[in-house]
């Protein structure tokens, strides 16, 4: 159920990328205006994420998930009726706010139902849903835009979301009460932030999330337009190419990476961070192929291999967070991480719109490799110097509070 909801979450946010060309033409929008559609969504998402995380640590996570799914589906429907740039911007802000409620609650709900032996696999399958949604949303919205106009995709996706929300209300359940296990401890926000700031491994994950978020969101927002402008593809083909190459490889990487993460973690929990570091460092060089105005085949190879390795690393992110953060603070921690990643991503998307005419998208894509090298090095520092202590402290903190 969560994988389906996750697919809709990312489909609704990604659909806009496949219709940038008709929006640019029909509403006479500049590249900066197009970039602002992505940036405002991400900044709204980032501002609301800490609040969403705090709510998910205090109230029913399954109920919050249904509320979030219903609300963002209504906003997606509303996007299909938007009459101009101002209305689109308002819808993107609302979409960011309501979608921010999803990941903190969903990830913590999964963690509460899975221990370390299956947590990576479960979260990997959930991430498969997220990444499948990007492909489905981009391709579907592009196809409908070619045949029925750019509004059609948002209307269909919004209606589908309302149906899924009705099903989710019946299926999703909070973790059942267990004999001898205390109810979740409600940590005050100020105290929770203070405790999270004292976990070096978590701070490294925040830095990694910001660096990777810039690159990932630039790709998700601008790659379909790159395919349309560079190779003359129609909207459906550009939307498919701009999401499929990124996401099918990411899905394969996440699916295999989640399973490998659990295998490595059985030997030593901190191996999750080492594995993520290695995959990020290996992925970065493939983006340098964008430097020489590559043909379609070269772009396909570069994007696919980068996404495969990046996906294998990404599958370790939330399991690693759950290893170093006590259970009562996980949703708050994820909310803050989403804030860092999407705020940085929003800045990257807008800056790309500003630099597009002077540098070109290919140069911007190649520069993303630097961000992943730096992220990989930060993770390596965390693995060697901070993970063992933080894992032990997280376990002891949860046991103390449970007593």
Is residue 178 included in any domain, yes or no?
Answer: no
The domain total for the chain is 1
Please check whether residue 184 lies inside any domain of the structure. Answer: no
Closest Cα to residue 310, out of 382, 240, 371? 371
Q: Has residue 52 got a pLDDT over 80?
A: yes
CATH code: domain of residue 162: 1.20.1250.20
Answer yes or no: is 243 within a domain: yes
Does the residue 183 lie in any domain? Answer: no
pLDDT band at 247 (very low <50, low <70, confident <90, very high): low
Residue 11 lies in a domain: yes
* Between 206 and 339, the higher pLDDT residue: 206
Angstrom distance (rounded) from CA 215 to CA 211: 7
> What kind and span of H or E run contains 227?
helix 200-231
Domain annotation covers residue 281: yes
For residue range 75-131, list pLDDT tens digits in order. Answer: 999 998 888 888 889 999 999 999 999 988 998 888 888 877 777 788 888 888 887
Residue 84 CB neighbours (<10 A): 9
Instruction: Look at residue 235 in the predicted model and tell me its pLDDT.
Output: 63
176 lies in a domain?
A: no
Between 254 and 274, name the one with better pLDDT.
274
Query: Please, which pLDDT band fits residue 298 given cuts at 50, 70 and 90?
Result: confident
Whether the pTM exceeds 0.85: the reply is: no
Q: Are 124 and 315 in contact (CB under 8 A)?
A: yes
Domain that holds residue 322: 2-171+189-402
What are the tokens at 343?
């705020």
Q: Is the CB of residue 81 less than 8 Å from the CB of residue 151?
A: yes
Residue pair 138/233 in contact (Cβ under 8 Å)? The answer is no
Q: Is the pLDDT of residue 364 over 70?
A: yes
Residue 180 belongs to a domain: no
pLDDT surpassing 80 at residue 400: no
pLDDT at 148 over 60: yes
């Amino acid at each position: 159920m969560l994988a389906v909801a996750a697919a809709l979450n990312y489909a609704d946010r990604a659909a806009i990328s496949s219709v940038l060309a008709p929006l640019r033409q029909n509403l006479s929008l500049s590249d900066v205006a197009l970039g602002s559609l992505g940036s405002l969504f991400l900044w709204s998402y980032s501002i609301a994420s800490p609040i969403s995380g705090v709510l998910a640590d205090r109230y029913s996570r399954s109920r919050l998930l249904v509320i979030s799914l219903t609300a963002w589906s209504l906003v997606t429907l509303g996007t299909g009726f938007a009459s101009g740039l101002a209305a689109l911007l308002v819808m993107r802000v609302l979409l960011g706010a309501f979608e921010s409620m999803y990941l903190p609650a969903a990830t913590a709900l999964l963690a509460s139902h899975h221990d370390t032996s299956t947590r990576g696999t479960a979260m990997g399958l959930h991430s498969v849903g997220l990444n499948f949604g990007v492909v489905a949303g981009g391709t579907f919205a592009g196809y409908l835009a070619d045949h029925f106009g750019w509004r059609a995709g948002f209307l269909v996706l919004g209606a589908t979301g309302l149906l899924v929300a009705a099903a989710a209300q019946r299926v999703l359940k909070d973790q059942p009460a267990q004999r001898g296990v205390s109810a979740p401890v409600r940590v005050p926000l100020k105290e929770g932030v203070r405790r999270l700031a004292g976990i070096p491994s978590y701070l490294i994950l925040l830095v990694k999330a910001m660096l990777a978020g810039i690159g990932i969101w630039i790709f998700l927002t601008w790659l379909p337009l790159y395919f349309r402008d560079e190779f003359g593809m129609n909207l459906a083909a550009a939307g498919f190419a701009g999401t499929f190459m990124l996401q099918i490889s990411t899905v394969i990487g996440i699916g295999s990476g989640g399973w490998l993460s659990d295998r490595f973690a059985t030997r030593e929990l901190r191996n999750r961070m080492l594995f993520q570091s290695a995959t990020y460092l290996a992925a970065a060089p493939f983006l340098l192929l964008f430097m020489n105005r590559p043909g379609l085949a070269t772009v396909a190879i570069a994007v696919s291999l980068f996404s495969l390795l990046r996906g294998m690393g990404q599958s370790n992110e939330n399991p690693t967070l759950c290893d170093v953060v006590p259970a009562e603070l996980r949703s708050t921690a994820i909310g803050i991480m989403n804030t860092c990643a999407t705020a940085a991503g929003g800045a990257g998307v807008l800056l790309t719109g500003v630099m597009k005419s002077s540098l070109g998208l290919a140069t911007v894509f190649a520069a993303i490799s630097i961000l992943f090298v730096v992220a990989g090095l930060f993770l390596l520092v965390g693995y060697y110097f901070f993970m063992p202590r933080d894992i032990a402290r997280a376990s002891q903190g949860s046991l103390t509070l449970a007593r």
